[in-house]
Every structure is written in structure tokens, then in C-alpha cells.
Amino acid sequence: MKSTSKKMSIRELCYIAIFVAIISVSAQIVVPLGPVPFTLQVWAISLAGLILGPRNGTFATLVYILLGAFGVPVFAAMTGGFGVIMRQTGGFIVSFPLVSLLAGWGDRKGGIVWVVIGLTLGSIVNLAVGLLWFSWVTGLSIVVSFGYAVAPFIVITIIRTAALPFISKSIKLAMKKAKITL
């Protein structure tokens, strides 16, 4: 039987490790907005998909989550452990691989419209899973939970979706100019 899986190169593993570090650092930039803080995690996770592609971006995100689940303090505000995932913001964390996957998928489809579609779908998944998880853990209604877990992030999400296609394109051009290949 012929294997269709592609082995990861050392270069790919290094880029994945770099993005795990970027995601980890971005989680430490915290703006408290109530029970769900604003961090730059979703920006970095989306960029992982846009720069590394859907497979490697998702893999970087999974490694980040596993590190945090095993207690490495990579989650927001230098927290770690499986208990963090089980708290009210855990839904956002568990949705991160899909955010990266969808961003990378949109980028691979080609063109800014597809990138925006991928980022939008990723944001919808992130906010929906985060909302449902928040409501489940806190026992609050969906409507009340929406006010805490989604409403404060709508404008930020729109800005991220508009800005990331240009940021990722700039990064890719800089990498190409520096002769850095993925």
C-alpha cells in the first residue's frame, strides 16, 4: 500500500517551533475585558495557518495546546495545565487548531477573498465554541454569555480579519526577499 503522507522536514519542524514560541508569547499580551481577556493568541494562531499552511499551522497550534495542557505556562497570563482548558475560556483554546486550519485553507485557495473567508470561518468557529463552552462552564444563558464572551471581541475580530491578509502578505514578501523558504 502506497503512503500518501508527507514527512515533515527539519526546516518545517523549526518553523513550527518558532510559531509555537510566537503563539506562547502572544498569549502573554493580555488586556482584561472581563471574564474573557483579550490576547494576541488568535492573531498568532491565524498567522501560523497563513504563513505555515493549514497542516503545519494546525500542528503548531496543537503543540502549543499540548504544552499548555501538560502544565507549561504558555496560556494567557502565564498559566498552564489541563485545568485551564476546563475553565470558562477553554472553548476558545480547543477551537484554536480549527482557526489555524481554516486560515491556512483560505490562504491555499488563493486570493484575498479566500483568505478573508478562511479567517472569517475560523473566527466564527472560535467565537461559537468559546461562547458555548463559556455558557456551559459558567451556567449562564447563551444570551448573557454572548455579552461576556463574544460581544467585546466583535470589533477586534473584524479588525483582525481585515488586517491579517496584508500582514501575512508582508511577512511572506519579506521572507521571499530574505530567501527564506518554507
Cα–Cα distances in Å, from 55 out to 82, 85, 100, 116, 179? Answer: 24, 23, 9, 18, 22
Give residue 149's domain range.
Answer: 10-166
Contact 120, 2 (CB under 8 A): no
pTM above 0.75, yes or no: yes
Q: Looking at the domain assignment, is residue 175 inside a domain?
A: no
Q: Which SS3 state, helix, strand or coil, does residue 31 take? A: strand
Q: Looking at the domain assignment, is residue 171 inside a domain?
A: no
* Residue for grid cell 530574505: 178
pLDDT at 1 > cutoff 80: no
Count how many domains the chain has: 1
Contact 21, 44 (CB under 8 A): no
Give me the numbers of helices (H) and strands (E) for the chain, helices first please: 8, 0
Q: Which among 54, 45, 53, 43 has a CA at the least distance from the CA of 19?
A: 45
d(CA 46, CA 69): 20
Q: pLDDT per residue over 102-125, tens digit each? A: 999 999 998 999 999 999 999 999
Q: What pLDDT is attached to residue 161?
A: 97
Q: pLDDT per residue over 80-92, tens digit each? A: 999 999 999 999 9
Q: What pLDDT is attached to residue 5?
A: 66
Q: Looking at the domain assignment, is residue 1 inside a domain?
A: no
Q: pLDDT per residue over 46-75, tens digit each? A: 999 999 999 999 999 999 999 999 999 999
Q: Looking at the domain assignment, is residue 181 inside a domain?
A: no
Contacts of 178 (CB under 8 A, 6+ apart): none
